Structure 1
Amino acid sequence: MRKHLRTLLACVIAMLALGTVAACSGGSSTTANSATPSSSAAAAKDFPKSAHYIADMPMADGKTMTIGVAVEGDKIAAYACDGLKDEAWFFGTQKDGSLDIKSKYQDTLKASFNGTAVVGQLTMNDVNYSFTAPTVALPSAMYTAAANGVRASWVVRPDNTITGVQFAISKDSDTSDLVQANEQQFRDQVRQRRQARLLQPAPPLEFGTWRSTVNGVPVTATRVDGDTRLG
């Protein structure tokens, strides 16, 4: 009997020891698992070296505002348009997966990369739009072409539908000469220049060949990447 009790006691002690080891092992596993999301979250802040993102945003009048974002290293190019009479170009840089850029007409684009999409807010003409733009595969991207003082720009969606706006470049719409006497005066001047622009829907763009006719001139549109810069 005593031998049996000693054997039983030894088994209990061994089980307790194993339980302690298991508990320690479990603690290490929990620490590792909790560290993994942190590592993933940190990695998710970094944009791919080269990528394109597109999203549609509903407008109050039932129409659609579309935004395209292109990344090339730390450089960003973005284009937003309603396909009818409003557009904005954004050029700048991103840092740690975040961007905060203004257009020449003081539109704002603030966004960050969550690992799969660009999530942010676009403000155009004092109207706010929230968007989540997933990664798209080429040839889905932004395209642009210019001829005789007119620039047409398009966003080609993953379903091959295309939207864009054409802009007649004029001195009346330039903002480079504006001096900011005070914020309100500057905003008023920018708004006047914005309204002076001659905008209309972009001409049809032939999918795949990217051919079009801008201001009566046959053109081939070029793809906009993150390091593209327009005057």
Structure 2
Amino acid sequence: MKARRLIRMASEDIGLSNPMAVTQAVSAYQATQLIGMPECDCILAQVVVMLAESPKSVRTYKGYKRAKALVNSLPSYPVPIHLRNAPTKMMNELGYGAEYKYEPDYAHPIYQEFVPPEVVDRGTRQGSSNDMDTISYPFLVPRSIRIDQHSSSCSDHQRTKDDDDYQNKTGSSHQDYNKSSLQTVTSQPTQSVTIDGQLVDLDLLRQWEVKVNHGQPWIGRNRLQQQ
């Protein structure tokens, strides 16, 4: 029973601040089953100390509660048509999945909705990425951001230089970037181009910057535009 509660604690109280905590707790549970008491006492103690010293985050727990409450408070809306599978000719003709954007095909983050339009403004974007005890949408950092942050080797000095370059090219600073109107962006759609085998669509990138990144330019925008 104690080992089971440790697994729950690893997810509910620690969560995304230390994702490996769940793995460690599950391993302790399995080890306890293998060797039993009293030999497993050190294993349990080790996991207890690890959980106690781990940074805490209830972002997942609160986010799940909010999402569940939201779903229970709304009607059952249909799945957006661009997210629907099209296994039949009729579904294909109806446009199922036609407007879906597959993010790994792009060299940058892109924006698209994954919830019905009736739900978009009903609290799915509460909080911010820096607020660890609240939920932000998307729930996890997009794949494209993780890849860029992992592969980017630019220093703080280089980022400052990029900021200056951006301001010189656009006439606006990053702080002024969020003043751009999304309506202006979408009224002049751009066409996707291919660079090094990946799609580039600056219109989709701009929408992501405005709606998801709080109006801040994507970290790899300057590098992308220089290609």
TM-score range, shorter chain: under 0.3
Structure with the higher fraction of residues in helix conformation: 2
Structure with the higher fraction of residues in strand conformation: 1
TM-score of the superposition, structure 1-length normalised? 0.25
